[in-house]
Structure formats: C-alpha cells, structure tokens
Amino acid sequence: MELEEGKHKFIQSWGTLGSHWGINRTMAQIHALLLISNGPLSANDIKEGLNISMGNTNMNIRALIDWGLVYKELIPGERKDFYVAEKDMWEVVRRIVTQRKKKELEPLTRVLNELQKVEGDDEETQEFKKVVKDIHLFSGKANTALENLVRSDSKWFIGTFMKMIK
Amino acid sequence: MELEEGKHKFIQSWGTLGSHWGINRTMAQIHALLLISNGPLSANDIKEGLNISMGNTNMNIRALIDWGLVYKELIPGERKDFYVAEKDMWEVVRRIVTQRKKKELEPLTRVLNELQKVEGDDEETQEFKKVVKDIHLFSGKANTALENLVRSDSKWFIGTFMKMIK
DNA sequence: CTTATCTTTCAAAAAGTTTTGAACTTTCAA
DNA sequence: TTGAAAGTTCAAAACTTTTTGAAAGATAAG
C-alpha cells in the first residue's frame, strides 16, 4: 500500500468513527489530517487537503478547538493561523467524555430530577416514579464514574482498570 | 406535574439521549414507552402511544430486539405479539457497548492493522506508521477494557470501579 | 490610510436520515 | 381452506444535518 492511499484510508476511517461519537465527519477528518501531518497546518492547507470549502473548514476547526481536540499555533513571521491536533488518545477520550457528559448526561439528570415531582399516590404514579428513580440513580453513578475517569491519570487508570476488571 | 406530562417528558428525554448513542429517536422513545408502561404492549399500542406509523413502529421494534433492548413476549390467548423493555440499566449499557464495539471499534482495528502495511522507509512513512501504531495500541486497550466491562457483573463492577478509581 | 490576505458568518443548497403509507406476506381462528 | 388481523417491506416524502459560496469583518504590511 502506498503512503498516500494509507493516509486517505486513515482519514476516512477516523471520520467514520468520529461521526458515531458526536463529532461530525469533517471535524473528525480534520483531526485525522492534523494527526498525520508533520507539523502545523493552516486553514488553507486543511481546505485543500480534504477538498472542502473554506466555510466548512473554518466552522469545524472552531468546533474542534471548542472540544479541545485541536490547538491554534501561531508561527512567528506567519500571517495565517496554524493548527495542531491533540495526539494523546487518552486525552482525546477525556475531552470527548467531558463534552458529552455535559451535553447529554447532565440535561438528563435535570429532567429525571424534575420528574420526581409528579403528583399522585396511585399505583401507576408510584410505578413511574420507581422507574425514574432507578434510572436517576444509575445515571448518578455513571456520572461519578465518568468524572473519575476524566480526572484520573492515563497510565494509572488503564493499568489499574485492566487488572481490576480482568 | 401531572403523570401524563411526566411520562411525556421522560419519553422525550430518553429519545434525545438515545439519538446520541446510536439509537434513533423513535427507537429510544419506544424503549422509554415500554419502560414506563405497566406490562407488555402490542405494536399497535406503541404506534398509538407515540403517534407514529405502523411501518416505523415495526422497523424500530425489530431494531430494538436486534440490539437486545426489547423482548418479544407472547401472551397466551392473544393473537398479537407483545413487547417488553429491558429494564436493567446496566444490561442496557452492556448491550449498547457490545453493539457499538462490533460496529465501530472492530472495523477501525481492521483498518489500522492494514495500515501497518504501507510501504516506504522514508521518514514520513515512519512517522505515519508511528501515529497509526499508537492509535492501534490504544484501541486494542479500549477494546479489552470494554470487553471486560461487558462481561463483568453489574454490582461487583460498579462497586469495585467506584472504589478503585476515586 | 489603503490594500491584500486571512477569517468569520450565514442563508441557501446538497446530502443524509427517518418516517410514512400503501402494497405485500404471514398467521391463525372459524 | 379462507379471510381478517397482524406483521413486513420499501420507495417516496418529510425532516435533519452538513456543506457551500458569497459577502462582510478583521488584521497587518506597505
């Protein structure tokens, strides 16, 4: 396999994976391109590298910076902005978990909380509250677990995790 | 808050959450409806409960069964099929992890494997291979971790996990 | 200043995904 | 058997998300 073909395949695969992880395809492809480029790329390099419009490039770079998956790097003497990818996969996972926790788990928790307030002491209401409470409890646990995961150090975590579970 | 309003909110929230987890909105709403219904529902009950078409109902019930999130239950003397939700959240998470591992992580691993075959011993190629190898290694670990997670028992896991991490 | 280069914005178009509904198939009680 | 009820399929329509491109906004060198 040629290097160029390999790079292309990598970008495609990373894009596909990303699109299942709340990162849209282009966003993930930009990240992939930066991962395998040697050195920082400008918005224009990215636009040309992926054959996408400038608007699209700009939007998605900003989203990536927002997620903490890409950093802006200023090169002395250069007019343009340059960008580099976060290359530590553990950090990438942490950033994604952090974002998604905030955007998904927290809103759910808020709703479940509210739902405890439904009125009525008939059996149907009690049953409903029970289901909601169960889920609420579970998502509380999930939230704590993920918070710890995000806080923990990668080597330690993976090491311990792997041994413990088994 | 009224019970009906509460149920409605729950279904909406579960639908939103699901759509970020590879389960489409309707699929997740069906699961939610079943979670809070007392007793099994027929396809028609679900259709009416959520105001969706029969086709849509059918497609999504089958997908849910496929994922292992809903079971078919035959009621003696009844012509129709009835359905119940998997209510154990831990099991729900396991099913989802299993599916997504199969559909996302495994294909990625296959590609990364192939990518080790790119030819060339120039620096650029070596650099590329290094990045790919890193990611390959990481996804191998993720895969094992998730596999263990899926295999482990819920109470034990959550208990230990929570104590260990921290 | 002025101008050329780079970045941002956003409405409209394209692409992708989900839903519908009508036709078709299966099932089972009579 | 037969036919009414239940379940399935799939192309087209509705809806959602992403992408484009053109215009406007910044910025820095001359």
CATH number at residue A51: 1.10.10.10
pLDDT at position A128, please?
A: 96
Query: Quick check: A145 pLDDT over 50?
Result: yes
**pLDDT-derived band at B156, boundaries 50, 70, 90:** low
Partner-chain contact A89 B134, CB within 8 Å: yes
Q: Do A115 and B9 touch (CB under 8 A)?
A: yes
Residues B58, B112: one domain?
Answer: no
Question: At which of A21, A51, A85 does a domain end?
Answer: A85
| Residue A147: partners with Cβ closer than 8 Å, 6 or more residues away | A101
Task: Based on the fold, state whether residues A53 and A23 are members of the same structural domain.
Answer: yes
**Among B residues 98-157, those touching chain A with beta carbons less than 8 Å apart:** 100, 103-104, 107-108, 111-112, 114-115, 117-120, 124-125, 127-128, 131-132, 134-135, 138-139, 141-142, 144-145, 148-149, 152, 157
Domain shared by B77 and B116, yes or no: no
User: What burial letters (b/e) apply to B47-58, b meaning 16+ CB within 10 Å?
Assistant: bebbeeeeeebe
Please tell me whether residues B65 and B118 are part of one structural domain: no
Among residues B52, B47, B48, B41, the alpha carbon closest in space to that of B75 is found at B41
Are B47 and B110 members of one domain? no
pLDDT at position A162 over 60: no
Q: What is the pLDDT of residues A92-128, one digit of tens each?
A: 999 999 999 999 999 999 999 999 999 988 999 999 9
- Shared domain check, B79 and B100: no
Same domain, B19 and B78: yes
User: What is the tens place of the pLDDT at every residue in A74-95?
Assistant: 999 899 999 999 999 999 999 9
Residues 45-74 of B with CB under 8 A from A: none
End-to-end CA distance of chain A: 37
**CA distance linking residue B155 with residue B91, whole number of Å:** 11
Residue A12 structure tokens? 């495609």
Q: Which of A35, A53, A85 is the last residue of a domain?
A: A85
Nucleotides on strand D lying under 7 Å from protein C-beta = 5-11, 17-23, 28-29
A122 and A108 in a common domain: yes
Q: What are phi and psi of A5, to 5 degrees?
A: -65, -40
Length of chain B measured in residues = 166
Number of independent structural domains in chain B? 2
Looking at residue A165, its pLDDT comes to 47
Torsion of CA A51, A52, A53, A56, to 10 degrees: -160
Work out the angle between the directed axes of helices B54-67 and B43-50 (0-180°, nearest 10): 110
E runs forming strands in chain A? 41-42, 70-73, 82-85
Which of B85, B107, B134 terminates a domain? The answer is B85
* Residue in B with minimal Cα distance to A23: B20
Distance B144 CA to C24 C1' (A): 45
What's the domain range around B18? Answer: 3-85
